[in-house]
Amino acid sequence: MRKVAVIGMGNVGAAVAHQLVVGGHADDLYLYDANEAKVNADALDFEDSMDNVPFNVNITVNDYEALKDVEVIVSALGHIKLLDVPHPDRFAELKYNRKEVAEVGAKIKASGFHGVLIDITNPCDAICQLYKEATGLPYEKIIGTGTLLDSARLHRAVGKFFGVHPKAVKGYSLGEHGDSQFVAWSTVKVFEQPITELIKEKNMDLEAIDEETREGGFTVFYGKKYTNYGIAAAAVRLVDAVLSDSKEQMPVSNYREEYHSYLSYPAIVGREGIVKQCQLDLTEEELQKLQHSADTILSKAQVK
């Protein structure tokens, strides 16, 4: 039986749970929210879909002891309205989420949970570290969705420029899931051709693509005051990678010893979480940007 938990049933958690239910990604689904009315309503709503979807899913609500046997927890708790300010920064939620993560992390630890925790809650990289401290889980069992979403946005933006599907584009956004993230253009290829060659051939400017990649998330956010489907797809891909031990390479937030921080860098994800850390051949400028991003995460995480 594939046992998956989602903690936090707001815009994001509900989208994750919905994809898990209608896509048949879990057999037992455990849903949690501080707002009992909301989580019970969502649970019943999912049960009402059971007759019309091709998979059965058993749903349990707010049972923290049950986490003992759960294989993957997805953290989607938060307070998105804190970002509804003129110039939002993903660190705006840190003060609130720090306290919630400490409480929830203690309950996860008390349950005896020994699976993999996938964090969506922002600021993603700093929250991974807080979950590590609260749960006592090994570093490799806590993974942040990090720039898996930003890399998907990059693939979408580049794909649109060249008229190809996002899957035809490879390459990574790295570092913080936040303002200091950057596209490592030396890693980006379209149908196996380096983008740095392609833009010379076509006399194009990387800056415009870069801008579109960076702004994509905020365009969604300003349209509806939250983002949820893109991140849900990224989180469910990670859930599948763990449950099926797929050992896929993905840019996710993982603890990198040399930067003393969680940050996004490609890693191999499988049953035990991060099973291998990859090594890219970055340019000097990209390495400096990565160091800057790590420094940004560490300094912003100090905010109490």
Ligand X SMILES: NC(=O)c1ccc[n+]([C@@H]2O[C@H](COP(=O)([O-])OP(=O)(O)OC[C@H]3O[C@@H](n4cnc5c(N)ncnc54)[C@H](O)[C@@H]3O)[C@@H](O)[C@H]2O)c1
Evaluate whether 131 touches 217 at the Cβ level (below 8 Å). Answer: no
Smallest separation, CB 250 to ligand X (Å): 13
CA 3 – CA 162 distance, rounded (Å): 40
CA 243 – CA 209 distance, rounded (Å): 35
What residues numbered 227-246 form the site for ligand X, per CB under 6 A? 227, 231
Smallest separation, CB 177 to ligand X (Å): 5
Q: Is residue 7 near ligand X by the rule CB under 6 A? A: yes
CA 178 – CA 166 distance, rounded (Å): 22
Give every CB contact of residue 185 below 8 A, 6+ residues apart in sequence: 171, 195, 196, 206, 286
Stretch that binds ligand X, among 2-10, 21-29, 130-138, 293-301 (CB under 6 A): 2-10
CA 301 – CA 123 distance, rounded (Å): 9
Q: Is residue 6 near ligand X by the rule CB under 6 A? A: no
- Catalytic residues, by residue number, are 177
CA 280 – CA 290 distance, rounded (Å): 12
Residue 254 assigned as binding residue: no
> x/- site string to ligand X, residues 28 to 47, per CB under 6 A?
----xxxx--x---------
Give every CB contact of residue 99 below 8 A, 6+ residues apart in sequence: none
Q: Is residue 226 near ligand X by the rule CB under 6 A? A: yes
Query: Going edge to edge, which strands form the sheet with 273-277?
Result: 58-61, 28-32, 3-7, 72-75, 116-119, 142-144, 248-256, 261-270, 273-277
Q: Is residue 111 near ligand X by the rule CB under 6 A? A: no
In the set 18, 26, 78, 264, which binds ligand X (CB under 6 A)? 78
Residue 57 assigned as binding residue: no
Evaluate whether 115 touches 159 at the Cβ level (below 8 Å). Answer: no
Tokens encoding 63: 């049972």
CA 163 – CA 156 distance, rounded (Å): 10
What residues numbered 83-102 form the site for ligand X, per CB under 6 A? 93, 100
**Interface with ligand X: number of residues (CB under 6 A):** 31
Q: Is residue 156 near ligand X by the rule CB under 6 A? A: no
CA 295 – CA 275 distance, rounded (Å): 25
Taking CB positions, which residue lies at the least distance from ligand X? 10
Residue 120 assigned as binding residue: yes
C-beta of 162 vs 226, nearer to ligand X: 226
Stretch that binds ligand X, among 10-18, 178-186, 197-205, 276-284 (CB under 6 A): 10-18
For the chain, how far is it from start to end, CA to CA, in angstroms? 40
C-beta of 149 vs 198, nearer to ligand X: 149
C-beta of 175 vs 190, nearer to ligand X: 175
Distance of CA 164 to the CA centre of its chain: 25
CA 145 – CA 238 distance, rounded (Å): 8
Q: Is residue 264 near ligand X by the rule CB under 6 A? A: no
Q: Is residue 175 near ligand X by the rule CB under 6 A? A: no
Q: Is residue 12 near ligand X by the rule CB under 6 A? A: yes
Smallest separation, CB 42 to ligand X (Å): 10
Contact residues toward ligand X (CB under 6 A) are 7-13, 32-35, 38, 76-80, 93, 100, 103-104, 120-122, 124, 145, 149, 177, 226-227, 231
